[in-house]
C-alpha cells in the first residue's frame, strides 16, 4: 500500500510538474506572441516599403530611358537636318554656275567655229550635273505651254497671249531645281495674260 501511495504521490508530482511546465510554456508563448506579432508587422511594413521603393525605381528608370531615347532621336534628326542644310546651301550656291553653263551653250551654238570649246564645256557641265544629281538635285522640268503651278514656278512677268495660252507658261527665264523632292529654287517663268 505504501508502494501505491508512493506511486500515486510520484504520479501527482509528475502531473504537477507537467502542469507547471505547461503553464511555463503558455507564459512563454504568451510572452512571445506580442513580440512575434510586432516582428511580423515590422516585416510587413519593411516589405511594403521595399515594394514601393522598387516601383519608384522602376518608374524613374522608365522615365530616364524614354528621355534618353527622345534625346537620341532628336540629336540624330538635328544631325541629318544640319547635313541637309549644308548640302542645300552648297548646291544653291552652285546653281548660278549651271545657269552660266547653259548660257555658254546658247552662245556657242550661235558661233559655228567653236566646236572643240563646246565639247570641253559640255564635258565639264555633264560632270558637274551628274555629281549634283547624285546628291539629290533634280531639274524642275518646265516647258512652254505647261500650266502655271505656284508651288513649282515663280511668275516674273506676264505677256499678252491668246486665249489658248492664258494662265500658262509662255517662256522660261531660269530653270527651277529641287533637292530631295523639296524645291530649293522656283523656275522663273513668263505667263500668258488676256490680250
170 near 156, Cβ under 8 Å?
Answer: no
Q: What DSSP state is assigned to residue 186?
A: P
How many distinct structural domains can be found in the chain?
A: 1
Tell me if residue 138 falls in helix, strand or coil: strand
The pLDDT value given to residue 114: 64
186 near 152, Cβ under 8 Å?
Answer: yes
Residue 114 lies in a domain: no
The pLDDT value given to residue 74: 94
Least Cα distance to 139 among 148, 130, 149, 150 occurs for 130
Strand order in the sheet with 169-174: 153-160, 187-193, 169-174
195 residues of the chain, pLDDT tens digit each? 555 555 555 556 666 566 666 555 555 444 445 555 667 777 788 889 999 999 999 999 999 999 999 999 999 999 888 877 778 888 888 888 888 888 887 777 766 566 677 788 888 888 988 988 888 889 988 888 888 888 888 888 888 877 888 888 888 888 899 988 888 899 999 988 876
Residue 117 lies in a domain: no
Least Cα distance to 171 among 140, 143, 152, 141 occurs for 143
Tell me if residue 142 falls in helix, strand or coil: coil
User: Distance between CA 184 and CA 166 in Å, rounded?
Assistant: 27
Residue 153 lies in a domain: yes
The pLDDT value given to residue 33: 53
Integer angstrom CA distances of residue 30 from 17, 21, 23, 26, 39:
19, 14, 10, 6, 15
Residues of the domain holding 195: 137-195
Residue 150: CATH number of its domain: 2.30.22.10
The grid coordinates of residue 56 equal 519608384
The pLDDT value given to residue 29: 46
> How many other β-carbons are positioned within 10 Å of the β-carbon of residue 161?
17
Amino acid at each position: 500500500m505504501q508502494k501505491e501511495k508512493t506511486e500515486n504521490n510520484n504520479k501527482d508530482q509528475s502531473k504537477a510538474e507537467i502542469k507547471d511546465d505547461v503553464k511555463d510554456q503558455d507564459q512563454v508563448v504568451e510572452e512571445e506572441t506580442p513580440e512575434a506579432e510586432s516582428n511580423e508587422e515590422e516585416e510587413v511594413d519593411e516589405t511594403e516599403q521595399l515594394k514601393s521603393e522598387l516601383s519608384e525605381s522602376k518608374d524613374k528608370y522608365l522615365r530616364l530611358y524614354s528621355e534618353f531615347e527622345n534625346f537620341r532621336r532628336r540629336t540624330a534628326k538635328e544631325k541629318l537636318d544640319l547635313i541637309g542644310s549644308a548640302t542645300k546651301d552648297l548646291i544653291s550656291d552652285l546653281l548660278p554656275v549651271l545657269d552660266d553653263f547653259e548660257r555658254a551653250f546658247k552662245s556657242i551654238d550661235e558661233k559655228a567655229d567653236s566646236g572643240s570649246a563646246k565639247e570641253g564645256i559640255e564635258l565639264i557641265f555633264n560632270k558637274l550635273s551628274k555629281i549634283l544629281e547624285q546628291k539629290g538635285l533634280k531639274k524642275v522640268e518646265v516647258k512652254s505651254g505647261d500650266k502655271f503651278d505656284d508651288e513649282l514656278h515663280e511668275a516674273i512677268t506676264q505677256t499678252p497671249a491668246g486665249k489658248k495660252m492664258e494662265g500658262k507658261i509662255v517662256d522660261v527665264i531660269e530653270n527651277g531645281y529641287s533637292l530631295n523632292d523639296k524645291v530649293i529654287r522656283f523656275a522663273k517663268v513668263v505667263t500668258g495674260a488676256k490680250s
